[in-house]
Each structure stands twice: as structure tokens, then as C-alpha cells.
């Protein structure tokens, strides 16, 4: 099977790669080869999804494009590696990819024991449940005895176990390797419930036979902060990936968009905007980038709000509300440290 | 003695036996060193990258339930126990698969040789279709075809205390009461009696040539004695009946569709290959053997059983072993359709939760290695037993 082969190969690869020793400077490697190798999902609409021509889109994909724009002033200098939930960390550990931008939940164990570093949070998500309307279930607390379909290799499995145990309810797990087939099993009636992150539920619901026959229950049973991951021990690369996102969030806060950034660059007198766009001081030197890297990111990819609306928000089929992902001064918790 | 030259030092160096021994020791040392080097290097680099290693995670609580468990298992049990559950699931599906695949294979192989046109063509179609479609596709087919064909739990097919729906086949679950050991004892006793009877019948036939229907009689003995013991103990068995609840049928015993789909896919797929092996084996026995048996006055059934089959088996067993090994390894594809076997539980959920890639994959490799080697050893023993004994 494909993913099995991939897994074995990546284990072999990690053995080989780790045998060769020290962590090299990822940025230098990336500059030398001329592109970023970016690990994404095998297809989650809104996050990372390839169309029938092989063009990738999604908020995670834009995360990689933004980093490419910062380094090369060209968001297209990214190559994507689709990874299953199981393969993703091994691929990053072994150096097969430079950054993992694959709706990956930041958890304690993953951060401290895998030799990896989480950078910043691109999307605040939470796990939810989808059920068929005909069951008449109004709350996740009514799910005692239900059969639950989900994909293997994600935090979803553990959250689900914790939730049912905490509420003294029993359930029957049907754990399927790929999300497509897990959803198909739910759609065919094998399960009462399908569970994954709420953004994922909204995306998958659009693909069901009769989307309107299914509802997403109101409860959010977990915190799922999603964000890009890099290898531990390369602080420069970690700072770079982190600050590309922070720059996008700061840009939204300052009202800078891909459309007005060129105009603002010419006219602005605001010192913080001037710093961000690289007009004052050499903002890129310590990251190993040009001074106007943030300008390039905003001009080529856009600010965080644009990225959100385009991929998962009001301009996308998912039509997710901003919710927690709104700026801190706008009712959400998206907050970036200042550029100074 | 004195006229035989003692070998001098030079000839010791040129001695073929000594030389090959030295080469083998050197080769072994190199292989061991390379393994040691790779392992210690891996260990050092895992440490330096802050990736935790070791098998201590096996004692930590797993926190996830498993769909099919033949030993008692709850979320509170350890990863070690989850591993055991998965191991049993893998072994069960492999063993059942081997049994069913062999039965299907023998029937289809014989059918393809049948003089009945329709039967032979049907068998040919079956074999050519099944063995030319990838197994994973067949698994999806069985899984989703089975699911699509069945009703939802609220509209289950009901028969007596049996239910059939998308969640599986529900049957009454026997619960053992006090005194059940008497029935078990009766069953054991009847088995011992049957074995004795078969041995006696065989000896008598060798001695006198008289034939006794030992197999049918022992079947009778087993049924009668076991039932009697069961009655004496006062029927020590009650049933937990399945009943309808809000989402599912609760209680009773359930055979989930994942299990059925994996078993169907594995046994029909491998059965198609075995059918060809059986056909090849039977065709390899010269027609003259059958003619000779007939001229001795043996019946058709006896000709098959005593003359053709023992000779065919010598050709059949070695490739059959490969098919059994394939089946055991192919059972790992069950992970794709939620059958909780080793790959799904250990390389899937456990790996995901602990992040111990090298340990979990190592464990799985060890298990598949051991499982395959055991099948191999058993089949080699059987092959030796069936091989031609020349006098």
C-alpha cells in the first residue's frame, strides 16, 4: 500500500539521514536549491488541496508560499510533498521536507519529544462532531453508544477517547487510514458520527451525498491550534517561518493588504509600518533575508485576513466564520508580537 | 603411519576448510560491526535531536478503544495490551483467511478441471477475475458493497434473536454458567475416545485388511458424549440477547462488517491463486497413475485420495506456503478499512500518539517476521512429511 511504503521509506530515510549527523542551516540549503520543500496534506479543502491540474491551494499552502516570497520574492518557488498524518513528522525529521504546513495540532508531546519545533499558530481550530439530522441528536452529550468514524494518525482519536471517557459514555470506534474513506464509511451509514476538526467537518460536509441532511454539533471538545512545524536546532529557520506569519498578522492589524501595500510603501510616515516594510533599518539582516521581505510577502501573498478569507473564510466554499481567528482587537485571539 | 607425510604449516594455510571458515568469520564480524555502527549512530543522533527512544511507552495507558478485541480491553489498558489485541486480530484474520482460502482454492482448482463445461468456465472466470484485480481495491469493494447493501440499524433485518445491519451481524452471546466444565470434560473425553478408535481401525486394517468407518463413528461419538455431558450438567449456558437501542443494537455478539470484508477479500483473492496451484499439482500427476489405479480395481474416489492427491501434494505444498505467507502479510491492508490489526493499531494509533516511529515499526516488523517464519516452518515440516520416502 502506498502509505505503508511511504512510511517504511521514510523510516529508512530517517535512519540514513540521521546517520549523517548534524543539522545544517535550512535557509542556506533552501537558497542553494532554489525552492522550499513543503509538507502538506493529501487533500483537505481550504487547508491544502490540489486541483485537477495539480495546483495547490489552501491556507497551509499559502503559509509555504509566504515563506518562499520572503526568501525568493517569488511565491511559486515551493514544491509540495503530500503526506499522510502518520508520515508527516518522520518526513520532517529526516530532512525530506524543509517545513511542515499540514493542519498539524501543536501539542506538548509533539513539541518536546519529536525533535521538532512548532512556530506560530495559523489557525485556531477545535474538534467537533457531525451527525445525520434524522437521529435527532442535538448535543454531543447524547452520543452514548454511538459508532464513530474517524481517520487514524491524528489527535482526533485521543480527544474523542478523552471526551467519551470524561462523560462516562461508551462508543464504538471505526478508525480508517485515509480521511476520504472514513467519510465514505460515514456517508454509507457505517457510523452515526464523523469527527474531526470543525473546519474539516465543514469542508467534508460539502462533499457528502446530501450535505444538508447532516449537522455539526455545537460542542467543541478540544483545542486544536494548527501551525507550521520545523526541525529543532535551527533557530534562524524557525524565526523566519514564525515571523513571516507574524508579519502577515501585523499587516492585517495595520490595514495593509496586497492591494494597497505598494501605495502605502510610497506614502507612509508611520514608523511601525515603515519598519515592517523595510524602509527604516535593515529588518532582514539577522534572518538572512533582504530588508523588504515583509513587503514581498504582503504584496505577493497578502496579509493574514486575505489569506483566511480566500481559503476558508467568506470568499471560499467553506465559508467559516473568523471566530477565534479574528484579530485580538476584533474579538478573536490572533495576536502577533510587534515589529520593532 | 610413518610413511604418511604430516601436513606442514604451508598446507594449513591452503586448507580449503580452514580458509572458508576464516572468510566466514571475517564476513560475520564485518556484518555485525556495520549493524552495530548503524545502530549506535542512530541512537546517538536520535539523542542529539531530542527524539525520545525506548519501549517504556508500552506500559503507559493507551486511552483509545479498539473495535474488535478478543481479549478484554478498555481505554484504560496499556499500549502493551493494545499491541496484544492487535496481534491477536492479525493472527485470527490470517489463520481464518488461510483456512478459507485453502477451501476455496481446492474447490475452484478441482472445478476448473471438471468435465462439466459450465463449472469449469465459472471457475476459470472466478480465478482470472480475482487474481488480476489489486487486493486493496477488492477490500474497498467488499467493504463498501457490503455496507451499501445492508439496512441502517433502525431498519435491521431481524430473524429470531439475530440482527443484520450496516454495523454487523448480531447474535446471542453465550454466557457460561456453573457446571460448564463437565460439558468440556465430556467433549475432551469423546475426542480421546475417537482418536483411540481411529488408531485401532488403522491397525486392524493393516493386520486384517478389514475396513471400519472410523471417521463417521468418531463424529457420532463426539456429538453424543458431549450432548450427554451437557445434559448431565443441566444445560449450563445462558444467552445475552441483542436488543435495539437509540443508535445501535446493544448486547449479544457482533461480527462487524470490517472483519467480514477483510476475510472475504483475503480468502477469495488468495483462493484464486491456490486454485491454480492445486490445478497444477493435479495435472503434474501422470495419467498413467490413474490408469494403473483403475486397473487394480480402485474406485474413483480412492484413486484420487490414495494415488493422485499424495503425489500432487508434493508439487502443491511449496508454492502453497508462499501463498499463505502472502496472505498473512496482506492482512495488513485491513488497516485501510478499519480492521484493527497490527498496522492500524500499532503503526497507526500508537505511533501517532507516542511518536515512537522506530520502535513501533520495529515491533511490527518483528511480528510479521515471526508470523511468517512460523508459517514457513510448519509448512516445511508438512512438506517433509508428505515428500516421497524412497525405500
Best to test chain B binding among A172, A184, A195 (most B CBs inside 10 Å): A172
How many cross-chain Cβ pairs, A to B, lie less than 8 Å apart?
Answer: 145
Closest-CA distance, A257 to chain B, in angstroms, reads 39
Give per-residue pLDDT as tens, B305-340. 888 888 998 899 999 999 999 999 999 999 999 899
Subunit contact A19:B38, Cβ cutoff 8 A: yes
**Are A57 and A178 members of one domain?**
no
Q: Which residues of B touch A155 (CB under 8 A)?
A: 352
- Of the residues A223, A245, A275, the one at which a domain ends: A223
Among A195, A223, A251, which residue terminates a domain? A223
Closest to B346 measured CA to CA, from B46, B63, B51, B85: B85
> How far away is chain B from the Cα of A130, in angstroms, using its nearest Cα?
14
Phi-psi sector, A73: left (phi>0), alpha (psi -120 to 50), beta:
left
Q: Are A39 and A102 in contact (CB under 8 A)?
A: yes
My answer on whether A87 and A163 are in the same domain is no
Q: Residue A20 has what pLDDT?
A: 41
If asked whether residues A96 and A159 sit together in one domain, one would say no
Full domain range(s) for residue A209: 126-223
Task: Indicate if the pLDDT at residue A12 is higher than 70.
Answer: no
Confidence of residue B9 (pLDDT cuts 50, 70, 90): low
b (16+ CB within 10 A) / e for A294-316: bbbbbbbbbbbbbbbbbbbbeeb
Same domain, yes or no, for A105 and A140? Answer: no
Taking only the tens place, the pLDDT of each residue in B114-158 is 889 999 999 999 999 999 999 999 999 999 988 888 888 778 888
3-state secondary structure B103-145: HHHHHHHHHHCCCCHHHHHHHHHHHHHHCCCCHHHHHHHHHHH
Least confident of A7-21, A83-97, B22-36: A7-21
What is the per-residue pLDDT for B19? 85
CA pair distance B243, B249, nearest whole angstrom: 5
Phi, psi of A231 (to 5 degrees): -70, 145
Quick one: pLDDT at residue B8? 57
Percentage of chain B surpassing pLDDT 70?
A: 96
Find how far residue A132's CA is from the centre of its chain: 28
- Give chain A's mean pLDDT: 88
* Complete edge-to-edge strand list for the sheet that includes strand B157-159: B157-159, B162-165, B168-171, B253-255
Are residues A176 and A307 both part of a single domain? no
Same domain, A280 and A292: yes
Distance from CA of A161 to the nearest CA of B (A): 5
Q: CA quadruple A268, A273, A277, A278: dihedral positive or negative?
A: positive
Three-state SS for A258? coil
Q: How many domains does chain A have?
A: 2
**Structure confidence at residue B7 (pLDDT):** 53
Strand bridging mode A56-57 / A78-82: unpaired
pTM of the model: 0.74
- Chain A residue numbers with beta carbons less than 8 Å from the beta carbon of B144 are 184-185, 188
Q: What is the CATH number of domain B79-151+256-386?
A: 1.10.3720.10
Domain ranges of chain B: 79-151+256-386
For residue A335, tell me if it sits in a domain: no
Candidate from B143, B144, B340 with C-beta closest to A175: B340
The tens digit of pLDDT for each residue in B269-302 reads 999 999 999 999 999 999 999 999 999 999 888 8
Contact state of A173 with B66 under an 8 Å Cβ cutoff: yes
Say if A15 falls within a structural domain.
no
Reported as a single tens digit per residue, the pLDDT across B187-239 is 888 899 999 999 999 898 888 888 888 888 888 888 888 888 888 887 777 78
Query: How close A306 comes to chain B (CA, Å)?
Result: 33
Residues A203 and A135 in one domain: yes
Q: Which of B37, B41, B49 to mutate to test the interface with A (most CBs of A within 10 A)?
A: B49
The confidence band for A2, taking pLDDT boundaries of 50, 70 and 90, is very low
Set of chain A residues whose Cβ sits within 8 Å of the Cβ of B50:
112-113, 115, 232
Same domain, A231 and A318: yes
A286 and A320 in a single domain? The answer is yes
- Looking at the domain assignment, is residue A13 inside a domain? no
Reported confidence tier of residue B266, pLDDT bands at 50, 70, 90: very high
3-class secondary-structure state, position B67: coil
Contacts (Cβ under 8 Å, ≥6 apart) of B370 = none
Answer yes or no: do A231 and A321 share one domain. Answer: yes
The per-residue pLDDT for A39 is 96
| Any domain includes A150 | yes
Q: Which CATH number belongs to the domain containing residue A178 in this structure?
A: 3.40.190.10
Mutating which of B357, B362, B365, B369 best tests the A interface, going by the most A Cβ atoms within 10 A?
A: B357
* Domain identity same for A216 and A233: no
The predicted structure's pLDDT at residue A21: 39
Each residue's pLDDT tens digit, A236-290:
999 999 999 999 999 999 999 999 999 999 999 999 999 999 998 888 888 999 9
Domain boundary among A175, A192, A223: A223
Q: Flag whether A4 is in a domain.
A: no
Q: Is residue A337 part of a domain?
A: no
Amino acid A19: pLDDT:
41
Amino acid at each position: 500500500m502506498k502509505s505503508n511504503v511511504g512510511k517504511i521509506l521514510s523510516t529508512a530515510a530517517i535512519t540514513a539521514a540521521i546517520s549523517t549527523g548534524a543539522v545544517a542551516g535550512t535557509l542556506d540549503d533552501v537558497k542553494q536549491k532554489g525552492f522550499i520543500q513543503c509538507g502538506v496534506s493529501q487533500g483537505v479543502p481550504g487547508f491544502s488541496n490540489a486541483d485537477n491540474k495539480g495546483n495547490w491551494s489552501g491556507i497551509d499552502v499559502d503559509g509555504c508560499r509566504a515563506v518562499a516570497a520572503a526568501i525568493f520574492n517569488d511565491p511559486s518557488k515551493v514544491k509540495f510533498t503530500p503526506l499522510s498524518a502518520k508520515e508527516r513528522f518522520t518526513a520532517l525529521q529526516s530532512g525530506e521536507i524543509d517545513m511542515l504546513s499540514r493542519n498539524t495540532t501543536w501539542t506538548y508531546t509533539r513539541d518536546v519529544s519529536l525533535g521538532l519545533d512548532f512556530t506560530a499558530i495559523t489557525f485556531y481550530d477545535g474538534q467537533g462532531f457531525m451527525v445525520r439530522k434524522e437521529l435527532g441528536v442535538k448535543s454531543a452529550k447524547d452520543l452514548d453508544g454511538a459508532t464513530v468514524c474517524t481517520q487514524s494518525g491524528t489527535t482526533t482519536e485521543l480527544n474523542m477517547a478523552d471526551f467519551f471517557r470524561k462523560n462516562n459514555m461508551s462508543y464504538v470506534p471505526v478508525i480508517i487510514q485515509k480521511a476520504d474513506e472514513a467519510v465514505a464509511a460515514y456517508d454509507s451509514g457505517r457510523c452515526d458520527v464523523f469527527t474531526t476538526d470543525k473546519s474539516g467537518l465543514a469542508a467534508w460536509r460539502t462533499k457528502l451525498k446530501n450535505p444538508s441532511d447532516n449537522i455539526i454539533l455545537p460542542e467543541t471538545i478540544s483545542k486544536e491550534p494548527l501551525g507550521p512545524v520545523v526541525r529543532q536546532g535551527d533557530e534562524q529557520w524557525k524565526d523566519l517561518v514564525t515571523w513571516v506569519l507574524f508579519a502577515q498578522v501585523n499587516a492585517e492589524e495595520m490595514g495593509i493588504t496586497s492591494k494597497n501595500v505598494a501605495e502605502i510603501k510610497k506614502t507612509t510616515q508611520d514608523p511601525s509600518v515603515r519598519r515592517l516594510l523595510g524602509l527604516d533599518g535593515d529588518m532582514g539582516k539577522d534572518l538572512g533575508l533582504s530588508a523588504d521581505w515583509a513587503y514581498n510577502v504582503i504584496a505577493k501573498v497578502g496579509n493574514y485576513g486575505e489569506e483566511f478569507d480566500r481559503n476558508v473564510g467568506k470568499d471560499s466554499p467553506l465559508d467559516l466564520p473568523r471566530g477565534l481567528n479574528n484579530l485580538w482587537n476584533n474579538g478573536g485571539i490572533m495576536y502577533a508580537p510587534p515589529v520593532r | 603411519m610413518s610413511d604418511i607425510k604430516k601436513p606442514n604449516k604451508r598446507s594449513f594455510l591452503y586448507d580449503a576448510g580452514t580458509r572458508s571458515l576464516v572468510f566466514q568469520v571475517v564476513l560475520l564480524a564485518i556484518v555485525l560491526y556495520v549493524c552495530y555502527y548503524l545502530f549506535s549512530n542512530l541512537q546517538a543522533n536520535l539523542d542529539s535531536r531530542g527524539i525520545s527512544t525506548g519501549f517504556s511507552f508500552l506500559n503507559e495507558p493507551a486511552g483509545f478503544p479498539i473495535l474488535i478485541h478478543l481479549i478484554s480491553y478498555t481505554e484504560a489498558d496499556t499500549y502493551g495490551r493494545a499491541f496484544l489485541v492487535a496481534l491477536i486480530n492479525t493472527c485470527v484474520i490470517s489463520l481464518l483467511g488461510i483456512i478459507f482460502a485453502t477451501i476455496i482454492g481446492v474447490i475452484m482448482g478441482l472445478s476448473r478441471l471438471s468435465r462439466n463445461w459450465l463449472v469449469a468456465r465459472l471457475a476459470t472466470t472466478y480465478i482470472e477475475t480475482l487474481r488480476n484485480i489489486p487486493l486493496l481495491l477488492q477490500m474497498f469493494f467488499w467493504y463498501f458493497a457490503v455496507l451499501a447493501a445492508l439496512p441502517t440499524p433502525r431498519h435491521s433485518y431481524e430473524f429470531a434473536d439475530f440482527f443484520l445491519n450496516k454495523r454487523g451481524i448480531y447474535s446471542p452471546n453465550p454466557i457460561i454458567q456453573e457446571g460448564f466444565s463437565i460439558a468440556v470434560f465430556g467433549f475432551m473425553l469423546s475426542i480421546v475416545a475417537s482418536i483411540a478408535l481411529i488408531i485401532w481401525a488403522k491397525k486392524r486394517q493393516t493386520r486384517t485388511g478389514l475396513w471400519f468407518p472410523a471417521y463417521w463413528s468418531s463424529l457420532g461419538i463426539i456429538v453424543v458424549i458431549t450432548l450427554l455431558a451437557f445434559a448431565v450438567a443441566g444445560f449450563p449456558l445462558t444467552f445475552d440477547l441483542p436488543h435495539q437501542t437509540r443508535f445501535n443494537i446493544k448486547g449479544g455478539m457482533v461480527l462487524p462488517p470490517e472483519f467480514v470484508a477483510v476475510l472475504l477479500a483475503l480468502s477469495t483473492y488468495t483462493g484464486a491463486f491456490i486454485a491454480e496451484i492445486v490445478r497444477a499439482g493435479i495435472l503434474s500427476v501422470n495419467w498413467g497413475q490413474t490408469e494403473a489405479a483403475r486397473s487394480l480395481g480402485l474406485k474413483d474416489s480412492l484413486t484420487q485420495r490414495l494415488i493422485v492427491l499424495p503425489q500432487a501434494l508434493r508439487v502443491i505444498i511449496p508454492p502453497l506456503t508462499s501463498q499463505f505467507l502472502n496472505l498473512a502479510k496482506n492482512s495488513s491492508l485491513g488497516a485501510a478499512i478499519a480492521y484493527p490489526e497490527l498496522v492500524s493499531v500499532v503503526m497507526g494509533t500508537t505511533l501517532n500518539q507516542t511518536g515512537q516511529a522506530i520502535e513501533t515499526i520495529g515491533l511490527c516488523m518483528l511480528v510479521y517476521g515471526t508470523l511468517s517464519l512460523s508459517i514457513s516452518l510448519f509448512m516445511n515440516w508438512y512438506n517433509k512429511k508428505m515428500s516421497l520416502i524412497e525405500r
